């Protein structure tokens, strides 16, 4: 017996309380109350046992086997297919009490077949990423698949070449759970191969100096190959060379030109058969020490003034268009700071914005954001990584200066909206996300509605207050694609309601591919704008749409083409801001200094600005400059964000709003100090970071020395590691030797890893350094093979190699396990049945005669049908006899009564005649003789008054008087 939830047994403590409260205290009810108390106690016990999950444990003869088949690239695919065939045959021949499951694994495990008693195994369709082998994950998944009431065994079919994970730790878990691990080894793929085994560059090199790139290529056979080397994605050398069998070393001498972080990649392409193409390239990094470099992102007219000012301050500035912003953190690492000059969010991909976020937060980079009509709220920064990294938020805190807005979303729900976008999401889902983000930007006093159309139009959410955002989101979530496209139907539905809205501003956003009949559509949109002031923004999906463009022009709004559907949410956010008409302020003012900052060091006065974008200051940020009263919006704000720093300037650095600034004498000084404030400061020259790979873990080693070459001890350091997917982790470094600090992490994927070491000493010194490390191709493709780990993990659990193939996979060599059969449902049923009995005992009075009748009824119901029929006949005969006797008794009684009545009548008649005779003297008349053959008809006697009783008759009854009259008179 066992319990699945033992704490519920504490409810048994209620039993004594129930006995105490229910103990019978009234003598005349003692028996009934005692029975009720027993029933209630039984109910409490049953419920406690049921809630505790009572189970009965019995030993079973069941055996469950989970097969783990290695699908990684290191296993010969022919042998793998043969192994799967053996598994199929073994499952088909297993016993009636056996269970089997199948897991296909490589970099991660996939369940191909859950544990079941079926003897069939269909085609294997699981296809995990084959670039690594994680035996540990497969074992853990198998442990989760086993039933609890069977003996359990894991059979691994693999070459045992673990590249990630800790299979021995997983085997310890299996042993603790009583699961045996056995294995059938598969042969590793053996084919001639050419692989790059080493590619090194110096960690740091001064700008202008020569340095060497060292390359080692190993070939299993002599061949010719082309060797290409790239620097930051640009091909710098290419040659075709002869590779001899064995190790081939090459050295390439280069000159360090541009300062910053440089990455180098080598690709070897052999002409002969190559076993694995994945191991034909490697990459490395080098830090070129030189003047700081800044990356300015924006159109030429937005960056020309600030780029010239920074170059005048001896900073190297690279200017690129927003679309060319790197999508990897390694692409930004060469720069000390990045400037975004009036860049709209829809001109950047989400990956590019995530790269900026990781660059600042995790790698200690700097960011300067400049305003303009395309920046901040109007630029669609709301709820993007750009808003996250900046010291200002896009929503205005003062809601009173924002006019009330009614906005209606008219969404195409035709069948084409089910098409998948580049992100893998259906277009209709992107539309929902866009509406959600737009609604979040609205104020509680605004109003919004969502209409949809296909061949007809429908309200998803009629125009209502935005205060209940969650209800709006729920309704938006019901959007489903189907049908054709009729934009006019959708606009007509919305127009009937929006024209009657009392708000100051009314705006419609239409999202469609524009494939609709335009008859009368442009005229209707124009009338809405001219007569009711309803503006319209059209967002075209995919290709340019003339209809959508004409609608926006007629509606006094803007036309947006979403060539990349993933930008739809950003476009909606931008258009929502623009519809409010309250985020861009264009009026001359002089910024007011509101805080001390190194950015304003040495600057006495500030010139006039002619406009800015309204934002709100975040809690941890500092407002250095503010705008005019009464709003005092931030003009220049700064903050520390993670390891880096960010500055937001909500005006611009052009002649649009900064006419007086671009000609200001301190323009160069101001921007030089602002940009340099965002650059990471530290003693990168005093530390050196290197990474080594040990089995499945990467070890980070940091050597810290002072200017004299001595060890620096007692530093509090940490390292931020950013993987190729821009996922960051912060790992503390611990000192392991004089001047040496270490940490380890497990790299999850191949590619470039960036490491930012940050910290300092007790004397207040700051230490920072950014470096890179490349995880080369997986050990799945490395030269040589390590010892198989399968014998070790099998020995941990008491298993071993299956010497006779899979024939012994279901051998009964394991200890039988107890199977737990739950009984709590029966306990609940019993408690429910006792409850009405308890109520009946307390409320219904039953005596012995009731019980006797009940017993008789039960006995009668239990007799056979024939006996029951005989009983019924006997009862009928008995009833008949009783009826006859009752009738006879009634007749006798009636006869006696009649006789007595006749005698009384006769006596009265005789006495009357006697009295008359005495009075008249006439002799009495003789009675007529009776004819025996003739019965006279009865004559009704005339009623006569009864004679008054004489003195002699008083107190005598009729019988006594009759006897007296029959006596002869005395002589």
Q: What is the pLDDT of residues 262-288, one digit of tens each?
A: 889 999 999 887 888 888 999 888 888
Identify which has the larger pLDDT, 75 or 923.
Answer: 75
pLDDT at 950 over 80: no
Instruction: Specify the pLDDT at position 970.
Output: 55
Q: Domain check: are 440 and 557 in the same one?
A: yes
Mean pLDDT of 139-160: 92
Sign of CA dihedral 94, 95, 96, 97: negative
Which secondary structure element, helix H or strand E, spans residue 2, and what is its range? strand 2-3
Instruction: Specify the pLDDT at position 961.
Output: 56
Q: Report residue 493's pLDDT band, with 50, 70 and 90 as the boundaries.
A: very high
Instruction: Specify the pLDDT at position 910.
Output: 55
Contacts of residue 944, Cβ cutoff 8 Å, sequence gap at least 6: 908, 912
Q: Domain check: are 548 and 642 in the same one?
A: no
Instruction: Specify the pLDDT at position 291.
Output: 81
* pLDDT tens-place string over residues 195-242: 998 898 888 888 889 999 999 999 988 999 999 999 888 899 999 999
Mean pLDDT of 819-839: 81
Mean pLDDT of 58-67: 83
Mean pLDDT of 603-624: 93
Domain presence at residue 901: no
DSSP output for 418-449: GSB-TTS-BHHHHHHHHHHHHHHHS-TT-EEE
Instruction: Specify the pLDDT at position 873.
Output: 66
Domain presence at residue 878: no
Q: How far apart are the first and last CA of the chain?
A: 115
Domain presence at residue 839: yes
Structural domain including 753 reads 684-780
Count of structural domains, the chain = 5
Question: Minimum mean pLDDT among 470-474, 729-733, 844-848: which range?
Answer: 844-848
Q: Report residue 649's pLDDT band, with 50, 70 and 90 as the boundaries.
A: very high
pLDDT at 314 over 80: yes
pLDDT at 692 over 50: yes
Q: Report residue 784's pLDDT band, with 50, 70 and 90 as the boundaries.
A: low
Helix pair 568-580, 427-441: axis angle to 10 deg? 30
Residue 405: closest CA among 465, 460, 354: 465
Domain presence at residue 965: no
Identify which has the larger pLDDT, 30 or 836.
Answer: 836
Which span out of 538-547, 619-628, 707-716 was modeled with the highest average pLDDT?
Answer: 619-628
Mean pLDDT of 172-176: 95
Instruction: Specify the pLDDT at position 911.
Output: 54
Instruction: Specify the pLDDT at position 18.
Output: 76
Q: Report residue 72's pLDDT band, with 50, 70 and 90 as the boundaries.
A: very high
Q: How many residues does the chain have?
A: 971
DSSP output for 772-837: EEEE-S-GGGSSS-PPPSHHHHHHHHT--B-TTGGGGTT-S-SPPPEEEEE-HHHHHHHHHHHHHH
Q: Domain check: are 836 and 695 in the same one?
A: no
Q: Domain check: are 72 and 49 in the same one?
A: no
Opening angle at CA 351, ends 345 and 357, nearest 5 = 80
Query: How many whole angstroms separate alpha carbon 825 and alpha carbon 442?
Result: 53
Mean pLDDT score of the chain: 83
Contacts 24+ apart (CB under 8 A), 635-638: 635/591, 635/609, 636/591, 636/599, 636/674, 637/391, 637/392, 638/391, 638/597, 638/599, 638/677
Alpha helices by DSSP H, 109-229: 135-145, 167-176
Check if the beta carbon of residue 439 is closer than 8 Å to that of residue 406: no
Q: Domain check: are 317 and 171 in the same one?
A: no
Identify which has the larger pLDDT, 947 or 181.
Answer: 181
* pLDDT tens-place string over residues 834-848: 888 878 777 776 667
CATH number, residue 753: 2.60.40.1940
Residue 29 DSSP class: G
Q: Domain check: are 379 and 498 in the same one?
A: no
| 227 three-class SS | strand
Q: Domain check: are 160 and 85 in the same one?
A: yes
Identify which has the larger pLDDT, 323 or 769.
Answer: 323
Domain presence at residue 17: yes
Contacts of residue 15, Cβ cutoff 8 Å, sequence gap at least 6: 41, 44, 45
Residue 359: closest CA among 664, 59, 642: 642
- Measure Cα distances from 284 to 230, 260, 291, 509, 702 in Å: 10, 14, 22, 49, 18
Query: How many whole angstroms separate alpha carbon 712 and alpha carbon 236?
Result: 39
Question: Minimum mean pLDDT among 55-59, 84-88, 110-114, 116-120: which range?
Answer: 55-59
CATH number, residue 576: 3.40.50.410
pLDDT at 303 over 80: yes
Alpha helices by DSSP H, 516-625: 521-532, 546-554, 568-580
pLDDT at 26 over 70: no
Structure tokens at 615: 């934002």
Mean pLDDT of 468-492: 85
Q: Domain check: are 95 and 143 in the same one?
A: yes
Question: Minimum mean pLDDT among 62-71, 700-709, 789-798, 808-817: which range?
Answer: 808-817
Instruction: Specify the pLDDT at position 275.
Output: 82
Mean pLDDT of 958-965: 54
Q: What percent of the chain has pLDDT over 90?
A: 37
CA 575 from centroid of its chain's CA atoms: 31
Q: Report residue 334's pLDDT band, with 50, 70 and 90 as the boundaries.
A: confident
Identify which has the larger pLDDT, 384 or 686.
Answer: 384
Check if the beta carbon of residue 570 is closer than 8 Å to that of residue 440: no
Question: Minimum mean pLDDT among 646-655, 754-763, 896-905: which range?
Answer: 896-905
Domain presence at residue 29: yes
Instruction: Specify the pLDDT at position 916.
Output: 52
Which span out of 94-98, 606-610, 881-885, 939-943 was modeled with the highest average pLDDT?
Answer: 606-610
Tally of CB atoms within 10 A around 567: 25
| 401 three-class SS | helix
Domain end point (choices 581, 607, 639): 581
Mean pLDDT of 848-863: 76
Identify which has the larger pLDDT, 450 or 923.
Answer: 450
CATH number, residue 381: 3.40.50.880
Domain presence at residue 34: yes
Mean pLDDT of 331-358: 92
Strand order in the sheet with 457-465: 457-465, 447-453, 405-412, 505-512, 534-541, 559-562
Check if the beta carbon of residue 107 is closer than 8 Å to that of residue 128: yes
Which secondary structure element, helix H or strand E, spans residue 472, and what is its range? helix 469-476
pLDDT at 909 over 50: yes
pLDDT at 577 over 50: yes
Q: Report residue 44's pLDDT band, with 50, 70 and 90 as the boundaries.
A: confident
Identify which has the larger pLDDT, 879 or 406.
Answer: 406
pLDDT at 617 over 50: yes
Q: Domain check: are 11 and 117 in the same one?
A: no
Mean pLDDT of 520-549: 86
Q: Domain check: are 136 and 100 in the same one?
A: yes
Instruction: Specify the pLDDT at position 544.
Output: 58
Domain presence at residue 940: no
Instruction: Specify the pLDDT at position 905.
Output: 54
Q: Report residue 122's pLDDT band, with 50, 70 and 90 as the boundaries.
A: confident
Q: Domain check: are 459 and 374 in the same one?
A: no
Q: Domain check: are 699 and 668 in the same one?
A: no
* pLDDT tens-place string over residues 87-114: 999 999 998 889 999 999 998 999 999 9
């Amino acid at each position: 017996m066992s319990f699945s939830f033992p704490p519920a047994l504490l409810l048994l403590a209620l039993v004594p309380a129930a006995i105490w409260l229910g103990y019978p205290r009234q003598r005349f009810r003692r028996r009934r109350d005692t029975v009720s108390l027993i029933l209630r106690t039984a109910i409490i016990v049953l419920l406690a046992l049921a809630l505790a999950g009572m189970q009965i444990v019995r030993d079973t003869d069941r055996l469950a086997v989970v097969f783990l088949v290695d699908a990684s690239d290191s296993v010969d695919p022919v042998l793998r297919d043969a192994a799967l065939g053996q598994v199929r045959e073994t499952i088909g021949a297993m016993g009636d009490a056996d269970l089997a499951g199948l897991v296909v694994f490589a970099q991660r495990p996939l369940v191909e077949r859950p544990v079941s008693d079926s003897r069939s195994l269909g085609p294997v369709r699981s296809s995990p990423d084959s670039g690594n082998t994680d035996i540990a994950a497969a074992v853990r998944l198998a442990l989760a698949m086993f039933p609890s009431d069977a003996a359990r065994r894991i059979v691994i079919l693999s070459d045992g070449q673990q590249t990630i994970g800790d299979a021995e730790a997983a085997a310890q878990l299996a042993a603790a759970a009583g699961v045996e691990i056995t294995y059938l080894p598969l042969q590793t793929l053996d084919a001639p191969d050419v692989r790059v085994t080493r590619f090194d560059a110096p960690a740091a090199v001064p700008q202008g100096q020569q340095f060497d790139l060292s390359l080692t290529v190993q070939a299993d056979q002599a061949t010719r190959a082309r060797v290409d080397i790239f620097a930051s994605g640009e091909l710098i050398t290419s040659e075709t060379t002869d590779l001899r069998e064995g190790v081939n070393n090459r050295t390439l001498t280069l000159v360090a030109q541009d300062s910053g972080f440089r990455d180098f990649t080598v690709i070897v392409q052999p002409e002969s058969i190559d076993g694995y193409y994945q191991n034909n390239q490697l990459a490395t990094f080098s830090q070129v020490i030189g003047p700081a470099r800044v990356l300015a992102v924006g159109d030429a007219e937005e960056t020309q003034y600030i780029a010239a000012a920074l170059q005048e301050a001896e900073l190297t500035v690279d200017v690129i268009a927003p679309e060319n912003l790197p999508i990897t953190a390694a692409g930004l690492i060469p720069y000390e700071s990045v400037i975004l000059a009036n860049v709209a969010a829809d001109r950047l991909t989400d990956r590019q914005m995530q790269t900026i976020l990781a660059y600042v937060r995790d790698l200690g980079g700097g960011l300067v954001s400049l305003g303009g009509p395309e920046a901040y709220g109007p630029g669609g920064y709301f709820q993007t990584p750009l808003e996250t990294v900046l010291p200002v938020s896009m929503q205005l805190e003062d809601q009173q200066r924002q006019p009330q807005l009614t906005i209606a979303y008219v969404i195409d729900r035709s069948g084409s909206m089910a098409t998948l976008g580049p992100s893998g999401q259906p277009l209709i889902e992107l539309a929902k996300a866009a509406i959600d983000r737009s609604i979040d930007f609205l104020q509680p006093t605004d109003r919004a509605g969502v209409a949809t159309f296909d061949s007809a139009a429908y309200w998803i959410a009629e125009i209502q207050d935005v205060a209940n955002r969650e209800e709006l989101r729920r309704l938006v979530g019901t959007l489903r694609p189907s049908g054709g496209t009729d934009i006019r139907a959708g606009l007509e539905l919305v127009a009937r309601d929006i024209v009657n809205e009392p708000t100051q501003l009314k705006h419609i956003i239409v999202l469609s591919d524009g494939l609709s009949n335009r008859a009368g559509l442009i005229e209707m949109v124009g009338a809405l704008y001219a007569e009711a002031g309803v503006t319209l923004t059209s967002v075209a999906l995919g290709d340019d749409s003339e209809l959508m463009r004409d609608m926006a022009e007629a509606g006094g709004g803007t036309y947006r083409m979403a060539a990349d559907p993933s930008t739809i949410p950003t476009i909606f956010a931008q258009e929502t801001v623009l519809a409010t008409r309250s985020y861009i302020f264009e009026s001359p003012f002089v910024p007011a200094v509101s805080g001390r900052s190194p950015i304003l060091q040495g600057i006495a006065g500030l010139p006039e600005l002619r406009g800015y974008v309204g934002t709100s200051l975040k809690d941890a940020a500092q407002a250095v400059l503010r705008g005019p009263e009464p709003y005092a919006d931030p003009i220049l704000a700064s903050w520390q964000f993670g390891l880096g720093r960010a500055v937001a300037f909500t005006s611009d650095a052009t002649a649009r709003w900064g006419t007086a600034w671009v000609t200001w004498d301190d323009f160069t000084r101001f921007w030089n100090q602002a940009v340099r404030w965002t650059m990471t400061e530290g003693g990168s020259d005093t530390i050196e970071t290197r990474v080594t790979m040990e089995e499945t873990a990467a070890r980070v080693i940091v050597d810290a020395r002072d200017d004299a070459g001595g060890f620096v001890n007692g530093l509090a350091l940490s390292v931020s590691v950013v993987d190729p997917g821009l996922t960051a982790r912060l790992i503390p470094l611990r000192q392991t030797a004089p001047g040496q600090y270490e940490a380890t992490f497990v790299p999850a994927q191949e590619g470039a890893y960036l490491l930012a070491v940050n910290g300092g000493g007790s004397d207040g010194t700051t230490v920072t350094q950014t470096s890179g490390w490349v995880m080369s191709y997986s050990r799945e493709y490395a030269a040589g093979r390590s010892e198989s780990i399968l014998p070790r993990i099998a020995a941990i659990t008491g298993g071993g190699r299956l010497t006779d193939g899979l024939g012994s996979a279901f051998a009964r060599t394991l200890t039988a396990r107890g199977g737990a059969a739950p009984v709590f449902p029966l306990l609940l049923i019993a408690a429910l049945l006792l409850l009405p009995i308890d109520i009946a005992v307390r409320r219904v009075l039953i005596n012995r005669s009731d019980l006797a009748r009940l017993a008789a009824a039960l006995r009668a119901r239990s007799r056979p049908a024939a006996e029951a029929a005989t009983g019924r006949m006997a009862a009928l005969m008995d009833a008949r006899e009783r009826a006859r006797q009752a009738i006879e008794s009634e007749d006798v009684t009636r006869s006696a009564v009649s006789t007595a009545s006749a005698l009384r009548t006769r006596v009265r008649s005789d006495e009357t005649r006697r009295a008359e005779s005495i009075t008249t003297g006439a002799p009495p008349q003789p009675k007529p003789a009776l004819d025996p053959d003739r019965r006279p008809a009865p004559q009704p006697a005339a009623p006569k008054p009864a004679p008054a009783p004489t003195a002699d008759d008083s107190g005598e009854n009729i019988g006594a008087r009759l006897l007296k009259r029959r006596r002869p008179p005395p002589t």
